[in-house]
Amino acid sequence: MDLKNKKILIIIGGGISAYKTLDFIRLIKKSGAKIKTILTKGGKNFVTPLSIASLTDNKPFEDIFDVNNESKIDHISLSRWADIIFVIPTTANFMAKLAQGKADDLASTVILASNKDIVLVPAMNVRMWLHKATQKNVKSLLDFGYQFIGPVNGEMACGEYGEGKMSSPRQIFSFLKKYFKDKNFFKVNKLNALVTSGPTREYIDPVRYISNKSSGKQGYEIALALSKLGVKTTLISGPSNINFSKDLKIKSVVSSEEMYKNVKDSLPVDIAVCAAAVVDFKPNKKKKNKLKKNDINSLSLNLEKNLDILEFLGKNNKNRPRIVVGFAAETENVIENSKKKLKDKYCDLIVANDVSKKNSGFCVDYNKVAIISKNGKIENIPRNKKSFIANIIAKKIVHKLLVDEKNIN
């Protein structure tokens, strides 16, 4: 992947691995990328401004208020200039600062002011990395949308061995090339996606209806994650209390039939993710007026099946999306039932989640899922924020599209 004219901002942290940043700079300089650096106070103990300037042809930024550059506010101009921001190495202290949202120096202020992807490259003693406080901060930063490279297992400068060693400059460079390759793929191919979310409602009378506990949060987060990757995304949502992002095209529906019609009208698309909890049955006849409790002693409903939106997308030979992703909300035999649904609905991927658990699934911000592929491979994702899980699902879709594209070519 050619990195010519890509703008890379590197924050050099205060760890002994800081010297490796110079090797990373050499690699990206050869690829034609433009480089700017921020040298932290701690980082200055391990690398000199002169060594950085000689490699980048630019003097590193150090102070939040630069008397020699009063025409611009550095923390704003730098955050807007960059295409991507790396923190190499990322210390436990700096992660704690970012997790708390502190902005007490140029590096942390740039990150807080940035609307670009932030990549952290941790390096620390194994005990520091495994400490509960550090792991809590990692979870917070992942929820913020920050990305991590490493750490890896290996011998550290302190003489101990374990997880905490910084990833090599070549590993970081490989990540960078793949990052822009994925971005370029969506830019060139101009991909479109539709995502369904939330519950549907099937009215018995003007007041009462059949529905479920779905909040629509997981589907919304997936739509947002795809949109951030450059995919033009339409979200078809059942009734929800979510304040939707303006970056998404929103189609609001109530009934399963309305959702089916909007899905059909949105075709063709490249990607379809059916995260909505569509009501499977509806009354075969809706009452015109509200049923009065005092007029009846018991009530029997005659129900009929709704159209199956996921199966329609999976089997649609004419306008079938390149990737169809389904969701299986199960309460027992989760994996077995999800595998069956994957096959029966002609999906490429299915996301299985156990909705019987109180701390994940419906009506909460957390989820615990398993992504199942047609080849039988299962990727278990431990309980985490739905936004975090959405990013994994979106990247999984990206990877599959890239693999399929490679096989076609």
pLDDT, tens digit (0-9, with 9 covering 90-100), for 113-135: 998 899 999 999 999 999 999 99
Q: Which of 271, 276, 192 is nearest to 240 (CA)?
A: 276
The distance of Cα 350 from the centroid of its chain, to the nearest Å, equals 17
Q: 60-70 pLDDT, tens per residue?
A: 998 876 645 54
pLDDT above 80 for 183: no
Query: How many percent of the chain have pLDDT more than 90?
Result: 66
Q: What is the mean pLDDT of residues 73-93?
A: 89
Q: Report the 10 Å Cβ neighbour count for 2.
A: 12
Mean pLDDT for the chain?
A: 90
At the fourth CATH level, the homologous superfamily of domain 190-408 is: CoaB-like (3.40.50.10300)
Nearest to 256 by CA among 310, 219, 205: 310
Claim: this prediction has a pTM higher than 0.75: no
Output the pLDDT for position 70.
Answer: 46
More confident residue, 203 or 184: 203
Q: What is the pLDDT of residue 159?
A: 79
pLDDT of residue 409: 46
CA nearest to 399, candidates 197, 76, 181, 172: 181
Q: Which one-letter amino acid corresponds to residue 257?
A: E
pLDDT value at 85 more than 70: yes
**In this predicted model, what pLDDT tens digit does every residue of 31-48 receive, in sequence order?**
999 999 999 999 999 999
Q: What are phi and psi of 196, to 5 degrees?
A: -100, 145
pLDDT of residue 109: 94
Are 371 and 396 contacting, i.e. CB atoms less than 8 angstroms apart?
Answer: yes
The per-residue pLDDT for range 339-389, each reduced to its tens digit, is 999 999 999 999 999 888 877 778 788 899 999 998 889 999 988 889 889
Catalytic position from the list 158, 274, 347, 363: 158
| 7-184 matches 190-408 in fold | yes
Mean pLDDT, residues 221-243 taken together: 92
User: Which CATH number fits the domain 7-184, given the four candidates 3.30.1300.10, 3.40.50.1950, 3.40.50.1820, 1.10.3300.10?
Assistant: 3.40.50.1950
Q: Which of 220, 315, 224, 193 is nearest to 276 (CA)?
A: 220
Q: Which of 110-114, 310-314, 316-320 shows the lowest mean pLDDT across its residues?
A: 316-320
Specify the DSSP class assigned to residue 158: T
The ranges assigned to domains in the chain are: 7-184, 190-408
Active site residue 158: yes
